[in-house]
Structure 1
C-alpha cells in the first residue's frame, strides 16, 4: 500500500504534472515514448512506472527482447533504429545528468534524428518520466498498485 496517493492529497500540485504528461504523450512517437519511459524507469529503479510502461509497450506489440534490453545494457542488442538509439542515449544522459550535462555527441545525434522540435519533445517526455519515477518511489507506489 502506498504511503500517499498524491493526486488525492494535493490535486492542484498533481494536475500540472499530469498536463505535462499529456503533452509528452501527444507530442512523441508512441513506440519511442514507451521505450524512453521504460529506460528511464529502469535507470531510476521505479518498479511501478516500469510495470506500467512495459504493459503499455507490450499492448502496442513491442518485442519482449527489446524491453528486456532496456533494463540492462540496451546497446548490447542490435535491434534499434538510429532514431531509437538517439532517443535512448538522450534518455540515459538526461536521466543521469552528470556535471557536464548532455554530451554534444548525444545531443547532435538526437537533433540529427529527431530535429530540434522532436528533440525538445523527447526531453519533455524524459523529464516527465523522471518526475513520475520520483513521485512513485517517494510515495511507495509498487507494481502491485497498478
Structure 2
C-alpha cells in the first residue's frame, strides 16, 4: 500500500487559531534572547532541513543572509559535520545538539552531544539553544501538518 502525498495546503491554522500563533511567537522571542543571530538562523535552518519544512527553510535562509551568514555556511549546512573548519566549535556544538533534539530517539539526547554543548555555552546560553531547537521543531511540525508553503517570489 502506497501513500499519496500532495502539497496542497490543508488549514490556515494561524487564522483559525490566532492564539496558537501568538503563543508560538512568544516562545520564539523568549528562546531568541542571548543567542547570536547567525547561530540562531543556523539552528533554525538545520532543524528545518531535517524536518523538510520548506516554509521555514525559505524564511530562515533569507534571514540568515540578512544576519551575515556566509553562502559557504548555507551551502554546506546539511553536511556541517563533514565541512572542516567552516563552522566554529560553538556552531558545531549547537548543530549537533539541534540534530539530537530534532531526531530524538528512545535514548534522548546522547551524553556526549549534551556535554559538548555544555562546554561551549554558559548555562543561560545552553538553555536558550535548547529552547530554540525545540521551538523551531514545533514551528516545523505545525507547518508540515498543515502544509504551509513558502510564498512564490
In structure 2, how many angstroms separate the alpha carbons of the residues matched to 1:145 and 1:124? 30
Q: What are the ranges of 5 or more consecutive residues in structure 2 without an aligned counterpart?
A: 1-7
Contact 1:48 1:145 in 2 (8 A): no
Find out whether 1:133 has 2:136 as its counterpart. no
Closer, same or farther: CA 3–145 of 1 in aligned 2, 3 Å:
farther
Equivalent-residue separation in structure 1 for 2:64 and 2:97 (angstroms): 19
| TM superposition score normalised by structure 2 | 0.88
Aligned CA RMSD, in angstroms, stands at 1.5
Change (3 A) 1:107 1:3: same
Q: Which runs of 5+ in 1 are unaligned?
A: none
How many residues are paired up?
145
Q: Please say which of residues 84-93 and 59-68 is displaced more in the overlay.
A: 59-68
Say if 2:48 and 2:136, in contact at 8 Å, map to a contact too: yes
Greater CA radius of gyration, 1 or 2? 2
Q: So what's the TM-score if we normalise by structure 1?
A: 0.92
Between the aligned partners of 1:105 and 1:134, the Cα distance in structure 2 is 27
**Distance apart, 1:74 and its partner CA:** 1.3
Q: Secondary structure at the match of 1:27?
A: coil
Is the 1:34–1:57 contact (alpha carbons within 8 Å) kept by the matching residues of 2?
yes
The residue aligned with 1:33 is 40
Any conservation in 2 of the 1:111–1:118 contact (CA below 8 Å)? no
Distance 1:25 1:103 in 2: 24
Instruction: Please say if 1:61 is aligned against 2:71.
Output: no
Give 1:145 shift.
6.1
Equivalent residue for 1:20?
27
2:82 is equivalent to residue 76 of structure 1 = yes
More helix by share: 1
Alpha-carbon distance, 1:63 to partner:
1.2
